[in-house]
Structure 1
Amino acid sequence: MKPLLRWLALVLLAAVALELFFVLRIALMAVVDPQSTSFQRSEIWAQLHSRGSLRWQQQWVPYAQISDHLKRAVIASEDDGFVNHEGVDWNAVEKAWERNARAEALAQARAAKAGKAAPAASPAQPQRVPKIRGGSTITQQLAKNLLLSGERTLLRKGQEFILTMALELFLSKQRILEIYLNNVEWGEGVFGAEAAAQHYYRKSAARLAPAEAARLAVMLPAPKRFEKTPGSAYLAGRTRTILARMGSAQLP
């Protein structure tokens, strides 16, 4: 029993040490720009593995050199309560759980109906899993992309929560948004506001017009897909919606 307890204690100690290491890195980000994120490193590995070469665009620019239109657009699209919450928007989380529960119940009902309608000898058809929508804030997204893997487990979600609290504790809202906008993915190998502005509009992030900023913000949930479908009707419609909301978005 004692060897098992010692082993468990070592595992717990290692987990605590790792979280402390992450927290210290976050505290340092108050004055030092992060060189890369966990998500970016995984993308580099994926590109080198699949293509044998690296396609990469990224250039850090200070907060003041990013268009306010883009800041407002991203807040309006991704996290309209950004300046008011403390890292987690519990109302958004509750709504996400409700949406996910409805989606799962609908999927189960369709599966049951399909099972009754199918002939007894027919092979069972695989059911499409409903897309689960989350309630992640900008701070949560930054915590996940900066330091964590892409796994979707309760353990990783717990880590995300701890790191989100650390980001809010050690960094200002403005600094959180600055780091987020300089590191978020906007296409294959396109990271950060400056790279996105140059890639899509051949101009600096400081000179983005409202409509251009809104379109970039709408791409964030699936930038690689939207990069390949620039004429998407959804992209155009959602851009108009975000453009209309930008005026009420609060900046830190």
Structure 2
Amino acid sequence: MKKILMFLAGVALAALLVAGTLAAVALRALTPQAGEWRTTFSLWRWQHEASVPTLLRWGTHPLLLPRLHGHRLATSAGTWLLQAQGESTLDARCAPCRVQLDALGPQPVVVEQARLTLHVRGADRYDGMLQLGAGAAPVSLPWRAELKAEGLKLHVELAPTPLQPLLALFGDALPEMKRARVEGRFSLVADATLSEQGLMFQRLVPRLADVSVDGLGTEALADADPGASCRPQPAGGRVEGWIQNAVIAAEDQRFFEHPGYEIDAWVAVWKRNQTEPQALQGASTITQQLAKLVYTGDERDAMRKLREWLYAVEMERTLGKGRILQLYLAMLPWGDGICGAEAAARHHLGKPANQLKPREAAWLASLLINPDLQLRRWALEEEPARERAAWVLKGIKRLPRERREAELDALVSWRPPIGRRLPR
């Protein structure tokens, strides 16, 4: 009996040694190389860094992939149910699923259901399909990927797809879709890298075609009193003079050329916002900013941007450029609690808006980026504020070159009589 116990103890010790050796070998194999995509996991009481490419290669190996069947994987996007289909295909489903990208703002975008299919196509190469939405006709995005040391290089393409089902993916987060009728198609080509930094896009080519929106009721603004939200307001109707051109130069230089939005500007801002802390800054047209003032508020997230876009597309049709500009000029906040171009001209410069000189109009429009901050700059540090006013002045169209140069020369020594009021 004693010999049997000694034999069993020896076998157990040998098994422990083998297990320990295998664990050490595995940990060594998982140790990331310099510059390699890495993650951290807990092993008993120890924290250990692991190579993500190695983990992916192991997980998609023909011997291990079938053993993932039935497991659940908890991620920041949601919990995915894994289903293996043979030795080289993995199906993962998440419901609901959340997408959190810095460039989309602080709030995650939620979709009712997502399904990801992955096919192993050889050494470090994969492809598959991402399907978004429940029901019989989800939105399908084919993808392919190549695994590199620094991350997973992704290529995604979305064929021209009707906008209505695409926007319906966002459910209650996009309440306008309960009454809006949206026509048009959207397509996308994108190259991105999934790595320690998250999902970063190197190439993003979205396209919109034949877009129209109806049913949001923006035609009511055609006869609305824009000053009602800005009381008290001085008497007067249409805003005329250089202030119109100055605001366009400051806020939306292609105002008369675009359909209410500029998709290329969105892409540029998206790429910049991937690495900057404040998301979704910039790229709003005057029409979109009017939509924000009237309908959506200024919460900085992707859903507000989509809502703005819906209203902007419809307003371009129901109101036209002239009415949009007049509404915008009448409702803009201009610092010191002042609202509207006419009130701002009288409060800040002591004269009606239609009597402003180009440099005065440029100065007033230069405040719009952040009116109260810009007013403080003029009080404490004039030069940066003066440079912005000069930039606006240079952008004013229909200003003859000789007069522009004279106005720029005068701006060098000109100081606004901030806070002066004209009796109503």
User: Given the two structures, how large is their TM-score scaled by the length of structure 1?
Assistant: 0.68
Change (3 A) 1:12 1:93: closer
Name which one, 1 or 2, has greater alpha-carbon Rg.
2
Match of 1:58 among 233, 241, 256: 233
What are the residue-to-residue correspondences of 1:53-202 with 2, within 5 Å?
Answer: 57-59=232-234, 61-63=236-238, 65-67=239-241, 69-101=242-274, 103-104=275-276, 129=277, 133-202=281-350
What are the residue-to-residue correspondences of 1:201-212 with 2, within 5 Å?
Answer: 201-212=349-360
Give the distance between the partners of 2:292 and 2:396, measured in 1 at CA: 25
Give the distance between the partners of 1:98 and 1:12, measured in 2 at CA: 24
Give the distance between the partners of 2:284 and 2:173, measured in 1 at CA: 27
Find the counterpart in structure 1 of residue 387 from structure 2. 237
Give the distance between the partners of 1:11 and 1:75, measured in 2 at CA: 34
Give the drift of 1:18. 6.8
Find the counterpart in structure 1 of residue 219 from structure 2. 27
1:216-246: per-residue Cα shift (whole Å, max 9, x none)?
Answer: 1111010011222324321101111211221
- Contact 1:194/1:204 (CA < 8 Å) preserved in 2? yes
Unaligned runs of 5+ in 1: 1-9, 41-55, 105-128
Change (3 A) 1:14 1:209: closer
Give the share of equivalent positions with the same residue, in percent: 33
One-letter amino acid of the counterpart of residue 331, structure 2: N
More strand by percentage = 2
Give the drift of 1:148. 1.4
Give the distance between the partners of 2:353 and 2:283, measured in 1 at CA: 27
Match of 2:365 among 214, 217, 222: 217
- Contact 2:329/2:341 (CA < 8 Å) preserved in 1? yes
1:103-127: per-residue Cα shift (whole Å, max 9, x none)?
Answer: 43xxxxxxxxxxxxxxxxxxxxxxx
Give the distance between the partners of 2:295 and 2:301, measured in 1 at CA: 15
Higher relative contact order (CA 8 A, sep 6+): 1
Unaligned runs of 5+ in 2: 1-170, 182-213, 400-424
Change (3 A) 1:100 1:201: same
Give the distance between the partners of 1:152 and 1:70, measured in 2 at CA: 28
- Contact 2:243/2:361 (CA < 8 Å) preserved in 1? yes
Change (3 A) 1:171 1:209: same
Residues paired across the two proteins, number: 195
Give the distance between the partners of 1:213 and 1:75, measured in 2 at CA: 11
Give the distance between the partners of 1:58 and 1:189, measured in 2 at CA: 12
More helix by percentage = 1
User: Given the two structures, how large is their TM-score scaled by the length of structure 2?
Assistant: 0.42
Give the distance between the partners of 1:59 and 1:19, measured in 2 at CA: 36
- Contact 2:227/2:330 (CA < 8 Å) preserved in 1? no
1:87-108: per-residue Cα shift (whole Å, max 9, x none)?
Answer: 001222222123223x43xxxx
Give the drift of 1:154. 2.4
- Contact 2:334/2:371 (CA < 8 Å) preserved in 1? yes
- Contact 1:182/1:192 (CA < 8 Å) preserved in 2? yes
One-letter amino acid of the counterpart of residue 139, structure 1: T
One-letter amino acid of the counterpart of residue 256, structure 2: V
- Contact 2:255/2:285 (CA < 8 Å) preserved in 1? yes
- Contact 1:198/1:204 (CA < 8 Å) preserved in 2? yes
- Contact 1:66/1:193 (CA < 8 Å) preserved in 2? no
One-letter amino acid of the counterpart of residue 71, structure 1: Q
Give the drift of 1:199. 0.7
1:149-199: per-residue Cα shift (whole Å, max 9, x none)?
Answer: 222222222211111111111001010000000000100310001110011
